[in-house]
Amino acid sequence: MKYFRIIFSPTGGTEKAASALTANWKEAETIDLSLPDKDYSEYKIGKDDIALIAMPSFGGLAPQTALERLGQIKGGSARCIIMAVYGNRAYEDTLVQMEDAAEKCGFRIIAAVSAIAEHSIIHRYAAGRPDSSDCDVLAGFAEKIKNKIEQNDMTKPHIPGNRPYKKVGGVGLAPKAGSACTECGLCASGCPTKAISPDKIKTADSKKCISCMRCVSICPNGARKVSRLPVFAASLAIRKACSEPKQNELFTD
């Protein structure tokens, strides 16, 4: 039995929550879904293996890029846990989309988790999460999932969300580099969708950019930014929904 962590985490929040959930997995192979040139069809997961699939919620949906890359992996009837990570507003149809995509690959879902991480655009929402108490909660979920695996319980949980899924809204925020940019190229090489061309480093191709904020988070000089006004407007629009801290959730039956 092998363990796989299949993760799309542009700015690290999903990775943090996934690490807390898999802390009791002694050895696991991580499949990073953020690599644009990777041939994911080389991954064939075995029937006895266990996989965690973790993605952030963007506009209440799973990022299309991550779903397409997941779609190349052969799930081989392996048991899997799906995890949607969101910035304290809502995850809406993210988990059901992940459920459909994982099943299409051949995975059998035994658990679903929603977890909170700092909002990667509006950092004051869920700031610092997952914190130590979130990690304790996620470790508790991990024990329950472990028991389910040990009991060979294959029950598929009821997963919240709607079909048809909500319409893709699109944030449309393509970060640009300011005068602090040294053209080091880190943002271009780290972009999950190749939206930043090495020859035109200061901008991003708005057709390819998924507004994931990877370039903003990895810039060593803090040079890449999104326009303040739309971020301010978005921040106001979700203020009410983000006013109370949301709780992590586990679905096993």
> What is the contact surface with ligand FMN in residues (CB under 6 A)?
9-15, 56-60, 85-90, 117-121, 171, 211-213
* Minimum CB–partner distance for residue 172 and ligand FMN (Å): 9
Q: Residue type at 113?
A: V
Q: Which whole-number Å values give the CA distances from 176 to 25, 210, 224, 225, in the listed order? A: 39, 13, 5, 6
* Minimum CB–partner distance for residue 74 and ligand FMN (Å): 25
Task: Say how far apart CA 67 and CA 5 lie, in whole Å.
Answer: 15
CB of 4 or CB of 86, closer to ligand FMN? 86
* Minimum CB–partner distance for residue 176 and ligand FMN (Å): 16
Residue 223 in contact with residue 180, Cβ under 8 Å? yes
CB of 79 or CB of 119, closer to ligand FMN? 119
Run of H or E including 82:
strand 79-86
CB of 60 or CB of 157, closer to ligand FMN? 60
Structure tokens at 252: 């096993």
* Minimum CB–partner distance for residue 113 and ligand FMN (Å): 13
CB of 85 or CB of 105, closer to ligand FMN? 85
CB of 18 or CB of 109, closer to ligand FMN? 18
* Minimum CB–partner distance for residue 133 and ligand FMN (Å): 17
CB of 56 or CB of 161, closer to ligand FMN? 56
Task: Say how far apart CA 68 and CA 181 lie, in whole Å.
Answer: 32
Query: Mutual orientation of helices 13-21 and 132-150 as an angle, nearest 10°?
Result: 50
Q: Which residue do the tokens 């041939």 mark?
A: 39
Neighbours of 24 (CB within 10 A): 10
* Minimum CB–partner distance for residue 213 and ligand FMN (Å): 5
Residue 181 in contact with residue 201, Cβ under 8 Å? yes
**Which residue is at the shortest CB distance from ligand FMN?**
13
